[in-house]
Amino acid sequence: MNFLVVDDQSTMRSLVKGMLNKMGYKDVEEADDGSVGLNMLKQKPYGLVISDIHMTQMSGLEFLKETRSTSAIKDAKFMLVTTESSKAAVLEAIKYKVNGYILKPFTFEAFLEKLKLLGIEPVAVADKPEVQAWGSEAGTPSS
Amino acid sequence: MNDHYEQKLLNEFVAENSDHLESIEPDLLAMERSGAKVSKDILNRVFRAIHSIKGSSGFFNLSVIMNLSHVMENLLMCFRDGVLFPDPDKIDALLCGVDKLRLMLNDVQASDKVSITDELDRINGYLSGTKGEIKKDTTKNKSNADSKETSGKSPDFLEALRIFELEDAFLHLEKETVKTTVASGMYVYAISAPNLPLSDLESYGQILFHDLDKESLISRLIYATAMESDLLCDFISLPQDKIILLEREKLLKALDDKSLAICKEKISPETDPKNQAIKDTQKDKEAGSGETIRVGADIIDRLMNLVGELVLARNQLKRELESIYFHDPKVRIVAQNLNTVTSKIQGKIMQMRLQPIGSLFHKLPRLIRDHGHRLLKKVDLNLEGEEVELDKSLVKSLFEPLAHLLQNAVVHGIENEEERKSLGKPEAGQIIVKAFKEGGLITLIISDDGCGIDPEKIALIFASGFSPASKPSADVSHKIGMEPIKNSIEKLGGTFDIDSVIGRGTTVKIRLPLTMTIIPSIIVGVRDKRFAIPQVNVTEIVNIKTGETGRRIEKVGKADVMRLRGKLLPLLKLSDALNIDRSVISSDGNGAVFDEVSEKTQDGLKSGQSEINVIVMRIGNNRMGLVVDNIFDTEEIVVKPISDYLKECKCYAGSTILGDGRVAMILDVAAIARICGFRFDEAGMEEAKERKAEEQSKKDVTSKPFIIFNNTHDDYFAVDLEGVSKIEKVGFKQVYRSGDMFFIDYIGKALPLLSLEKLFHGATELEEVNEYFVIIPKNEELRKGILVSQMPDAIHTDVEIKSYPSIPQCITGVAFIGHNLVRFLNLDETFRMSEEQQKYS
């Protein structure tokens, strides 16, 4: 499965990417703004888009709305990274059929839980012992 | 490997959040200024910045940073909700918080050991005044990860349904629909409550089952939505116990058991191959638009060095090609192309290193504010030219001197409020920091409208080691020693001028080169040596022709000076300064020629007959002329740092390789002037004294302006400036004679002239000098001019004019001005006397 991580903060992108890597997913692409992410999404499908809600050019919410209103990509799985302070935006996102949202800051466990809701489970990677450890927590990974 | 990754991530975290902190400070200050009318935009910006610090620090387990940013965020939230107002006290607390955050970010590893209790207590003090909401927030935040497990949790979902009398609902649920909603990541809740906003719920999720108890108007729902339980409670304003989160696995399993209907699995929409169809044109268009890449500064520095080498190679190649293949058009085109490309690369890389000076400016308001608060002075800071870009290294190293200057301005320059009021100045001190580009230079102007510095003390504050500590400030105009500031600016290749008017304020002007490593220079020669002088220092080049040297160059004491547009310019021979004498044997066989040159200049410049090249240079507020043998060309030179064993030679700023492959030293002109004992400071003090004396004399009522002049007999006379209308310059030939009378043609009329020679010495003939001057009195009835043989000068003086009974009536008195005895004339009496003389003659 491949992922698209959209955030204007490179630290956040790296973090989310790191967590996905930990789960055993290596195919992670990044974009630093909603508009960039939208274009990437138009190019090819992603298993999941994880986007921050606050971005300077195109916010995560606009990105979501654009995605949902573009027929070719309207069914893309979309998760928003939000903050406590953006409840209204989250509600708006839910209206636009966001598949999930996660509050910053989140732990790896919370992240795992959220992805599990979307049917995304960690995959085993043989040469990474720590993934085994994580995997045991989130259900035994199939080898 | 993993550690390395974490470390990299942590570094990124620090870099990013340090940027955030930089941006917060000016915004906080803006909030302080606007008080209750704080702009939403600014508040949101600060909020977001603090929030992202809090957010990302959570990931790295930097609990102290997180805790501090958390309370700061809460305080900001109160501002936003209008619960609290951002008064200066609270902003101060936030600023202290920002300082602490910065401290911790500077050394993240040790951040856990930093004590933040003061900051926390202070901010919590403000918060405790508001409702308990915020406290709740903290706990909620901590347990964020497991909150949904605890809230709305139920041991068994069937039991849960029973509580809400929804057992039957289960039978009506469509397995297919439930599966789809679950697959899209939704939670499934059981809700039982009156007056539910059903249509709203429908738009935020999917109502899987709805049962309305008509009597009590209680709706019982099975509802699928992406909302988490706390958000849902918020949304429909229900307490947590009115909703139950159904465990998805169990729900699905139960549905499986219930229904034996076989459902065709629909392909989930997530990977629709149709999406693969893409338009290449669109891809091309969108790719790379507005993207940025973070590149390490060290890579750019290395690139910069390489470009330096490239420029050198180009210069060398250019020279070689020019001498050999100049007439071959093919080679010329290639050479030209290489030339442009190199220049362009150089330009682009320089551009990479450029940074708007705004990043430096943003730190200043805080500085001003802190000093102002401490001293209870109101100060407005106006920043102009934030968009001006200059080399990154310069931006960094400019902070210290700039901070120093601003501190001086606030501490010593700006007066306190009452004093300002009484002086009729605006209550708040005005400090302007302005940056602009001027040619290849960046000019920075820092001006205040404070009390100014005594001109006599300007030289003093530049004296090394001067500081208020060594001279306790009885006088407020004392400033912290400027020497270190000036030195650091000069080290950056810049110049530093200060200009101050007592009572009006002080203006400091700093000029800096845009970039430091490649600079346009003038290549000069002394004997067979070549030197590069940065063009920044050069104001003009004066060539004194053979034969004119005697007239243009004068000697004052031992030193040579040149008269340049009425001002004296001290001269320094580069060969003397660097001790290059004719015993140096020229390496390229031109020794004889150089020997000849040195012979001529040996006995001082004045006696020399050959032409002289003077490079007029600006060193701070002063100017000096550097005498060189040859001036070759201007060239973009690449500055190479001077090697260690030459560091002791203070007169060089670096070295470079010229186009012809020769090594040339780059002259540090200011250092040379210093080494050779040029004491501008004293000259400056002298000038300042004169200026001061002049200013005072203007105010002084007893002092009067006079025109002072002398005749061919070198008698000095003075007339009151009040009585003079005009001074005309006339050639000897333009003076007409009629009998023993002299006339000039003045506005078409013959104006009779009074000759002082005749009046006092009885001379009847005019001495033949190149030019005469005619002083024309204001009193038109006199209808006469005074013939003078030397250029009159205007002076201010309050000397006592002594009168003696023995002197003629036309002389009001005599006095010594300078070393000359000056006779002060009464114009009316003088003309009357001359007429009488005529009558009797």
Collapsed DSSP state (helix, strand, coil) of residue B159: helix
Q: Nearest by CB to B16, which of A10, A106, A119? A: A10
* A26: Cα within 13 Å, side-chain hemisphere: 4
Contact A105 B58 (CB under 8 A): yes
Number of domains in chain A: 1
Q: Return the pLDDT at A10.
A: 86
In 10 A of CB B63, how many CB atoms? 13
What is the per-residue burial (b if ≥16 Cβ within 10 Å, else e) of B329-343? Answer: eeeeeebeebeeebe
* pLDDT band for position A49 (cuts 50, 70, 90): very high
* pLDDT band for position A139 (cuts 50, 70, 90): very low
Whether residues B671 and B530 fall in one domain: yes
For residue B709, is it within any domain? yes
The mean pLDDT value for B411-429 works out to: 85
For residue B633, is it within any domain? yes
User: In 3D, which of B618, B676, B652, B660 has the Cα closest to residue B531?
Assistant: B652
Q: Which amino acid is at A8?
A: D
| From B94-98, B421-425, B448-452, B478-482, the region with the lowest mean pLDDT | B478-482
**Per-residue pLDDT tens for B728-756?**
888 878 888 777 788 888 877 788 888 87
For residue A77, is it within any domain? yes
| Backbone CA torsion sign across B701, B707, B708, B711 | negative
For residue A142, is it within any domain? no
Containing B431, the helix (H) or strand (E) segment is: strand B429-438
**Per-residue pLDDT tens for B550-584?**
777 777 766 778 877 767 788 888 888 887 764 44
ipTM of the complex: 0.73
Task: Kindly identify which residue of chain A lies nearest to residue B10, measuring between CA atoms.
Answer: A11
| Backbone CA torsion sign across B159, B160, B162, B163 | positive
Cis peptide before B705 (omega within 30 of 0): no
Instruction: Tokens 């289960």: give the residue.
Output: B170
Q: Is the separation of the CB atoms in A116 and A30 below 8 Å?
A: no
Cα–Cα distance measured from residue B797 to residue B704, given in angstroms and rounded to the nearest whole number: 6
If you count residue pairs, one on A and one on B, with CB atoms under 8 Å apart, how many are there?
116
Residue B801's CATH number = 2.40.50.180
For residue B287, is it within any domain? no
Cα–Cα distance measured from residue B455 to residue B506, given in angstroms and rounded to the nearest whole number: 11
Mutate to test the interface with A, among B142, B270, B274 (most CBs of A within 10 A): B270
Q: Nearest by CB to B145, which of A77, A83, A110? A: A110
* pLDDT band for position B693 (cuts 50, 70, 90): low
Cα–Cα distance measured from residue B342 to residue B11, given in angstroms and rounded to the nearest whole number: 35
Q: Return the pLDDT at B141.
A: 40
| A65 contact B CB<8A | no
The mean pLDDT value for A109-118 works out to: 87
Q: Nearest by CB to A10, which of B12, B225, B283? A: B12
Whether residues B19 and B113 fall in one domain: yes
For residue B280, is it within any domain? no
Cα–Cα distance measured from residue B237 to residue B231, given in angstroms and rounded to the nearest whole number: 9
* pLDDT band for position A133 (cuts 50, 70, 90): very low
In 10 A of CB B810, how many CB atoms? 19
For residue B179, is it within any domain? yes
Q: What is the 3-state secondary structure (H, E, C) of B710-752?
A: ECCCCCEEEEEHHHEEEEEEEEHHHCEEECCEEEEEECCEEEE
Cα–Cα distance measured from residue B216 to residue B446, given in angstroms and rounded to the nearest whole number: 76
- Residues of chain A with pLDDT > 90: what percent? 20
Whether A55 shows a pLDDT value over 50: the answer reads: yes
- Residues of chain B with pLDDT > 70: what percent? 76
Whether residues B569 and B717 fall in one domain: no
Contact A11 B66 (CB under 8 A): no
| From B15-29, B73-87, B450-464, B750-764, the region with the lowest mean pLDDT | B450-464
The mean pLDDT value of chain B amounts to 74
CA B429 to chain centre: 20
| A100 contact B CB<8A | yes
Q: Return the pLDDT at B675.
A: 76
- B149 CA to chain A: closest CA distance, Å? 11
Kindly state the tokens that stand for B817: 């001005």
Cα–Cα distance measured from residue A16 to residue A29, given in angstroms and rounded to the nearest whole number: 11
Number of domains in chain B: 6
Instruction: Tokens 């290193």: give the residue.
Output: B353
Q: Return the pLDDT at A48.
A: 92
Whether residues B551 and B656 fall in one domain: yes
For residue B292, is it within any domain? no
Q: Return the pLDDT at B463.
A: 62
Cα–Cα distance measured from residue B182 to residue B808, given in angstroms and rounded to the nearest whole number: 122
Whether residues B422 and B525 fall in one domain: no
Q: Return the pLDDT at B152.
A: 39
Whether B101 shows a pLDDT value over 50: the answer reads: yes
**Per-residue pLDDT tens for B27-48?**
888 888 777 677 778 888 888 8
Mutate to test the interface with B, among A8, A43, A46 (most CBs of B within 10 A): A43
Whether B659 shows a pLDDT value over 60: the answer reads: yes
Query: In chain A, what is the greatest distance between 2 CA atoms, to the nearest angstrom?
Result: 43
Pairing of strands A78-82, A100-103: parallel
Q: Nearest by CB to B185, which of A47, A110, A118? A: A118
Cα–Cα distance measured from residue B230 to residue B236, given in angstroms and rounded to the nearest whole number: 10
Task: Kindly identify which residue of chain B lies nearest to residue A91, measuring between CA atoms.
Answer: B204
**Per-residue pLDDT tens for B768-803?**
777 788 888 887 776 788 888 777 777 777 777 777
Range of the domain at A59: 3-137
Q: Return the pLDDT at B585.
A: 42
Q: Return the pLDDT at B697.
A: 55
Collapsed DSSP state (helix, strand, coil) of residue B191: strand
Q: Return the pLDDT at A5.
A: 93
Whether A117 shows a pLDDT value over 70: the answer reads: yes
| A2 contact B CB<8A | no
Range of the domain at B713: 701-840
For residue B620, is it within any domain? yes
In 10 A of CB B165, how many CB atoms? 13
Contact A104 B55 (CB under 8 A): yes
- A143 CA to chain B: closest CA distance, Å? 22
Cα–Cα distance measured from residue B554 to residue B755, given in angstroms and rounded to the nearest whole number: 32
For residue B281, is it within any domain? no
**Per-residue pLDDT tens for B160-180?**
666 676 766 666 777 778 888
Q: Return the pLDDT at A51.
A: 93
For residue A16, is it within any domain? yes
Contact A47 B271 (CB under 8 A): yes
Q: Is the separation of the CB atoms in B25 and B98 below 8 Å?
A: yes
Cα–Cα distance measured from residue A4 to residue A50, given in angstroms and rounded to the nearest whole number: 6
Q: Return the pLDDT at A87.
A: 79
For residue A131, is it within any domain? yes
Whether residues B809 and B718 fall in one domain: yes
Cα–Cα distance measured from residue B320 to residue B662, given in angstroms and rounded to the nearest whole number: 13
Helices (H), A1-143: 10-22, 34-43, 60-69, 87-95, 108-117, 129-137
For residue A143, is it within any domain? no
Containing B513, the helix (H) or strand (E) segment is: strand B505-513
Cα–Cα distance measured from residue A95 to residue B602, given in angstroms and rounded to the nearest whole number: 93
Whether residues B337 and B452 fall in one domain: no
Residue B86's CATH number = 1.20.120.160
How many helices (H) and strands (E) would you count in chain A? 6, 5
Q: In what order do the strands lie in the sheet with B811-817?
A: B793-797, B704-710, B716-720, B820-825, B811-817
Inter-residue long-range contacts of B403-407, CB under 8 Å, 24+ positions, other chains counted: B403/B363, B403/B364, B403/B367, B404/B480, B404/B484, B404/B485, B405/B446, B405/B485, B405/B508, B406/B364, B406/B367, B406/B368, B406/B371, B406/B381, B406/B431, B406/B433, B406/B446, B407/B367, B407/B371, B407/B480
User: In 3D, which of B513, B440, B490 has the Cα closest to residue B653?
Assistant: B490
User: In 3D, which of A75, A41, A76, A77 has the Cα closest to residue A58?
Assistant: A41
Q: Return the pLDDT at B2.
A: 59
| A141 contact B CB<8A | no
Collapsed DSSP state (helix, strand, coil) of residue B595: helix
Q: Return the pLDDT at B603.
A: 45
Whether B447 shows a pLDDT value over 70: the answer reads: yes
Collapsed DSSP state (helix, strand, coil) of residue B327: coil
| A42 contact B CB<8A | yes
Q: Return the pLDDT at A4.
A: 93
The domain boundary residue, chosen from B119, B142, B165: B142
* pLDDT band for position B414 (cuts 50, 70, 90): confident
Q: Cα separations (Å) of B334 from B313, B314, B467, B794?
A: 15, 12, 59, 64
The mean pLDDT value for B704-720 works out to: 79
Whether residues B244 and B334 fall in one domain: no
| From B88-92, B159-163, B501-505, the region with the lowest mean pLDDT | B159-163
**Per-residue pLDDT tens for B507-518?**
888 888 766 667
Whether B601 shows a pLDDT value over 70: the answer reads: no
Q: Nearest by CB to A94, which of B51, B66, B204? A: B204
**Per-residue pLDDT tens for B250-298?**
777 777 765 433 333 333 333 333 333 333 333 433 444 445 676 777 7
Kindly state the tokens that stand for B585: 């044997």
Collapsed DSSP state (helix, strand, coil) of residue B785: strand
Whether residues B675 and B533 fall in one domain: yes
Whether residues B347 and B397 fall in one domain: no
Mutate to test the interface with B, among A91, A96, A134 (most CBs of B within 10 A): A91
| A116 contact B CB<8A | no
Residue B312 vs residue B684, higher pLDDT: B312
Residue B285 vs residue B630, higher pLDDT: B630
* pLDDT band for position A30 (cuts 50, 70, 90): very high
Q: Nearest by CB to B12, which of A14, A42, A95? A: A14
**Per-residue pLDDT tens for B828-839?**
888 888 777 776
For residue A86, is it within any domain? yes
User: In 3D, which of B139, B103, B136 has the Cα closest to residue B118?
Assistant: B103
The domain boundary residue, chosen from B649, B679, B709: B679
Cα–Cα distance measured from residue B48 to residue B67, given in angstroms and rounded to the nearest whole number: 16
Write out the DSSP string of B203-236: HHEEEEEEEEETTTTEEEEEEEES--HHHHHHHH
Q: Return the pLDDT at B265.
A: 33
| From A41-55, B354-368, B690-704, the region with the lowest mean pLDDT | B690-704
Whether residues B644 and B524 fall in one domain: yes
Whether residues B465 and B489 fall in one domain: yes
Residue A59's CATH number = 3.40.50.2300
Contact A44 B275 (CB under 8 A): yes
Q: Nearest by CB to B271, which of A15, A45, A113? A: A45
